[in-house]
Chain A
């Protein structure tokens, strides 16, 4: 059984009102435990609405969302689901509440009445995992955006979350902050086998996922490995997305007669392919 199962989910905002808006339209998908899935789509494609269904912040208008076998529509499940699925949102300043980093990370565990010894241990380990131990007694407002997002991630880890949903968590960060957050989630995926759902507008981030899910107008447009997805450049551009830089450059070169046949995703792959062609020219 998959860790997350979304079965025929539709979500309608303001149902029956003038501004009625169907954000998700009969979506079905599943995410395996330990999988790293990137979700792409334009503004308004339903990405954030979908993300908010995973931990029951939103409930389906029709259909079901199952997390670790628990249905989000059953009220008694909701706290267990939220323990297992941690959310990190776009604005780092909107999700930190305590005056000291350590207290902020301990907030969730304290709320669910975890034993003090265990809280201390979990907070310590969580800060260690995101590389923020040094800042444990800092005031959060003194941290950079990337550091704040890592604190938000640590907060979820201290709850021993099994899954992290990051909703454009890098959109407001500078390049260094983005890199810090990306490295942290890749490490969590690799070493702690945490299931990752990464919503992003940055194709270079999506390349790092096991699988990419493309949403368009509230429906699943495509699902596949980064290589499968980014081999469909034209289809992606038609729905307002783009290819990663290395793929775009490879495409432009191929269009000018350089025989690059394989789908290229990264600068290293482009360099290797061009080198081979250049040497055998």
Chain B
């Protein structure tokens, strides 16, 4: 099972003087169970790509398939199936806490399941489950106003609202933007656990290359609407020319390692995680390396 993009192109305001091609001929397959990052400079097509994944917009050319089902069916009879497939993809936009609106945390999270027409019991079960998955204690938070929470907690509530719909694929657009360091760390830990223990397939857009190296097993690099790379972060971030073209910088830890090498501390060129910098410098100082 997978999300497949087959030669997807998208043109905004086609056949007008404002016409702009946001995506050109993108083909890629995001396997169920993977943890994929999407990186690219502002205007590279990241947001346009995301909106294709659950059928918010359809390609001008090409196809998007979720678990083998085309999200833009040709026949009317296939629409129901396409809708069900699109619902497998849960989308969490940037600053999702701005979309919170209910009086209590539990009511806000219940909004999605209620729209599915589920029973009260089922809804409560899902709210409870989603809150636990997002590390929000049910008894403590269920009756609290979402607006009385910290920024990090509000974002958890917003993501829980999506998880209550039990999507198989969870798409997050810059999930940690604007959070303080603790909020960032806690949220990335929670997302990692969702992937590892609940087997939710994760796709996330990030400007933080250190997060991408730490979390993702594959990274999609977009530039000017084209797919520049789809590979492991470790391989992608060692390619200066590619990064330059994409307008990206390697992870901070990678830059730190490069700076150390320039000073004669000869740690390997693929050092790009904070813990690796520490362990490799230690190895060098203790003379364990040949």
Contact = CB atoms under 8 A, between A and B. Distances in A.
Interface of A: 19, 41-44, 90, 144-146, 168, 171-177, 201, 203-204, 240-242, 245-246, 248-249, 252-253, 256, 258, 267-268, 270-272, 274-275, 277-279, 281
A176 B265 contact: no
A264 to B, nearest CB: 11
Contact of B264 (A172, A201, A270, A278): A278
B278 interface: yes
Contacts of A271: 259-260, 262-263, 265
Contact of A145 (B42, B183, B281): B42
Contacts of A240: 180-183
B32 interface: no
A17 to B, nearest CB: 12
Contact of A281 (B179, B249, B278, B285): B285
Contacts of A19: 145, 147-148
Contacts of A245: 252-253, 256, 274
B264 A249 contact: no
Contact of B265 (A44, A90, A168, A278): A278
A164 B259 CA distance: 32
A248 B278 CA distance: 9
Given A43-B152, A275-B265, A267 B181 contact: no
Contacts of A278: 264-265, 284-285
B177 A256 contact: no
B125 interface: no
A209 B100 CA distance: 36
15 contacts: A41-B180, A42-B182, A144-B41, A174-B207, A175-B209, A201-B179, A240-B180, A249-B256, A256-B282, A271-B259, A272-B263, A274-B265, A275-B264, A278-B265, A279-B264
Interface in B153-206: 177-185
B268 interface: no
B73 interface: no
| Residue from A168, A171, A278 with most neighbouring chain B CB atoms (10 Å) | A278
Interface of B: 41-43, 94, 145, 147-148, 150-152, 177-185, 207, 209, 247-249, 252-253, 255-256, 259-260, 262-265, 274, 277-278, 281-282, 284-285
A143 to B, nearest CB: 9
Nearest to A203: B181
Nearest to A40: B180
Contacts of A246: 256
A253 B263 CA distance: 17
B273 to A, nearest CB: 11
A177 B260 contact: no
A255 to B, nearest CB: 9
A267 B255 contact: yes
A277 B265 CA distance: 10
A256 B278 contact: yes
Nearest to B155: A43
B285 A258 contact: yes
A253 B281 contact: yes
Given A175-B207, A281-B285, A201 B180 contact: yes
| Top 5 closest pairs, chain A to chain B, by CB | A43-B151, A240-B182, A271-B263, A242-B181, A42-B180
Nearest to A41: B180
Nearest to B180: A42
A171 B208 CA distance: 11
Contacts of A253: 278, 281-282
Contacts of B147: 19
Nearest to B206: A174
Contacts of A171: 177-178
A175 B248 contact: yes
Contacts of B183: 42-43, 240
Nearest to B174: A172
Contacts of A242: 181-182, 185
Given A274-B263, A275-B264, A176 B282 contact: no
A258 B281 contact: yes
Contacts of A146: 42
A272 B264 CA distance: 10
A66 B180 CA distance: 29
Contacts of A279: 264
Contacts of B152: 43
A274 B256 CA distance: 12
B260 A174 contact: no
A201 to B, nearest CB: 5
Nearest to A179: B249
A145 B47 CA distance: 14
A258 B181 CA distance: 26
Contacts of B253: 245
Nearest to A91: B95
Contacts of B281: 249, 253, 258, 274
Contact of A241 (B181, B207, B247, B252): B181
